[in-house]
């Protein structure tokens, strides 16, 4: 009797926030994990250490998600270490908020380089490499529905992510690979909490019928579902927001 081959995942932005929760959650399911970081290797090392201390397998891999050569190298490293690739979760992203009328276009370009080009580059590599039975999971935002002011540039980048996802799901016809997007609502991460006063945070928490913010672990459960048992969900946007919208 042969052992079942280990499933392998690469998590971009896996060094903190939602990305770290996703990496640790997939490791709980026995998936070997490549923990990607852009600039903070120490945080990626902490995530790897937490996974290995719990009995899992993980390695750190660096690179700019918008650079196709650096991402090809990151994918190569994960495949060389674990023998293949089954799940790619693209949590890497940045958020710059401003009214459309006054937004700094350099901020817009920087955000779109990471969120749109980065998602495209990672999706391109994933489409070439993920094995049959695998899953590609990108990240959008519930603000594509709630349409909060000052999120115009950010929502534009995430609407593009959703479009890339839906097209790629159809382009991979016959390969037994699912492609979906998770769209979190307000989630208690440093990215979300930065710059918000307590009243704003509380108002957003109470906006959901569940009357709380989401947690990184909440979002990670959605990813684990799409990465594992949810084989009949494909080409969809999954709103993980507690009923906010």
Question: Domain coordinates of the chain in residue numbers?
Answer: 8-187+216-234
pLDDT at 189 over 90: no
Check residue 113 and report its DSSP letter.
Answer: I
Q: What is the pLDDT of residue 237?
A: 97
Helix extents (H) in 64-214:
68-82, 105-112, 118-129, 143-146, 152-171, 190-193, 198-207
151 is catalytic: no
Q: Give DSSP secondary structure letters for 21-48.
A: HHHHHHHHTT-EEEEEESS-HHHHHHHH
Comparing CA positions, the residue from 47, 14, 18 lying closest to residue 140 is 18
Q: Active site residue: 37, 151, 154, 239, which one?
A: 154
Q: What is the pLDDT of residues 92-147, one digit of tens each?
A: 999 999 999 999 999 999 999 999 999 999 999 999 999 999 999 999 999 999 99
pTM of the full structure = 0.95
**Could you give the CA distance from residue 181 to residue 224 in angstroms, rounded to a whole number?**
13
pLDDT at 72 over 60: yes
**Of how many residues is the chain composed?**
245
Confidence of residue 3 (pLDDT cuts 50, 70, 90): low
Check residues 37 and 5 and name the one with the higher pLDDT: 37
**What is the assigned CATH class of domain 8-187+216-234?**
alpha beta
**Phi, psi (deg, nearest 5) at residue 14:** -85, 5
């Amino acid at each position: 009797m042969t052992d079942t081959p280990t499933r392998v995942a690469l998590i971009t932005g896996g060094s903190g926030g939602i990305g770290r929760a996703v990496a640790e959650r997939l490791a709980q399911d026995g998936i070997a994990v490549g923990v990607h970081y852009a600039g903070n290797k120490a945080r990626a090392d902490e995530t790897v250490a937490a996974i290995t201390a719990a009995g899992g397998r993980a390695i750190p891999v660096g690179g700019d998600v918008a650079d196709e050569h650096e991402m090809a190298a990151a994918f190569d490293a994960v495949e060389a270490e674990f023998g293949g690739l089954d799940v790619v979760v693209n949590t890497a992203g940045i958020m710059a908020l401003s009214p459309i009328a006054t937004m700094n276009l350099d901020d817009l370009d920087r955000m779109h380089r990471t969120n749109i080009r980065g998602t495209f580059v990672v999706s391109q590599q994933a489409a070439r490499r993920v094995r049959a039975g695998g899953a590609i999971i990108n990240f959008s935002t519930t603000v594509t529905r709630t349409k909060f002011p000052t999120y115009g540039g950010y929502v534009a980048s995430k609407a593009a992510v959703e479009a890339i996802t839906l097209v790629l799901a159809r382009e991979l016809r016959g390969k037994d690979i699912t492609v979906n997007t998770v769209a979190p609502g307000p989630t208690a991460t440093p990215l979300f909490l930065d710059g918000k006063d307590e009243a704003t945070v509380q108002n957003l928490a109470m906006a959901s019928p569940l009357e709380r913010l989401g947690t990184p672990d909440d979002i990670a459960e959605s990813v684990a579902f799409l990465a594992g048992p949810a084989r009949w969900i494909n080409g969809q946007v999954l709103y993980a927001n507690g009923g906010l919208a």
